[in-house]
């Protein structure tokens, strides 16, 4: 039996204004809690979640607040990365970025996929 952890990439393209980001982080959190290696990769409008305070007011009932989901996911070892090109396109600045989110290229995503990660896109 293969002892390698299963990998999951959750691609989040929605910002905190909709339920996609909340559902994405809920799925990522559940998969990580089940023992999977999980990467949440923020693309398009999803990179807006990098901004300090962007998720603070997002709470889609009956889910946990988005800021709590993100913080808990990162604290427990989940990986959050954002597309550097999408980040740059929106004129975002590194100094306003949450420290728990790494800005990276799609090579990060490609590496996870090459390692056999399953992908869910929202």
- Averaged confidence pLDDT in the chain: 90
Look at residue 93 in the predicted model and tell me its pLDDT.
87
Tell me the pLDDT tens digit for each residue of 62-95. Answer: 999 999 999 999 999 999 999 999 999 999 988 8
Say if residue 3's pLDDT is above 70: no
- Domain ranges in the chain are 7-121
Phi and psi angles of residue 103, each rounded to the nearest 5 degrees, phi first: -85, 125
Which residues make Cβ contacts (< 8 Å) with residue 92, sequence separation at least 6?
47, 50, 51
User: Which long-range contacts does 86-90 make (Cβ < 8 Å, 24+ apart)?
Assistant: 86/42, 86/43, 86/44, 86/46, 86/47, 87/47, 87/50, 90/47, 90/48
Three state DSSP letters for 49-74: HHECCCCCCCCCCCCCCHHHHHHHHH
Q: What is the CATH architecture assignment of 7-121?
A: 3-Layer(aba) Sandwich (3.40)
Look at residue 1 in the predicted model and tell me its pLDDT.
39
**What distances in angstroms separate CA 80 from CA 1, 25, 49, 61, 107, one per listed residue?**
29, 10, 10, 23, 14
Look at residue 4 in the predicted model and tell me its pLDDT.
65
Quote the DSSP letter at residue 19. S
């Amino acid at each position: 039996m293969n002892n390698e952890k299963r990998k999951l990439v959750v691609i989040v393209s929605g910002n905190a204004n909709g339920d996609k980001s909340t559902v994405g982080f809920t799925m990522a959190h559940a998969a990580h809690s089940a023992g999977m290696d999980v990467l949440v990769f923020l693309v398009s409008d999803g990179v807006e979640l990098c901004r300090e305070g962007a998720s603070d007011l997002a709470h889609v009932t009956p889910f946990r607040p988005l800021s709590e989901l993100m913080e808990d996911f990162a604290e427990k070892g989940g990986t959050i990365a954002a597309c550097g090109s999408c980040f740059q396109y929106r004129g975002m600045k590194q100094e306003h970025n949450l420290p728990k989110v790494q800005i990276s290229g799609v090579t990060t995503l490609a590496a996870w996929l090459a390692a056999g990660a399953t992908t869910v896109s929202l």
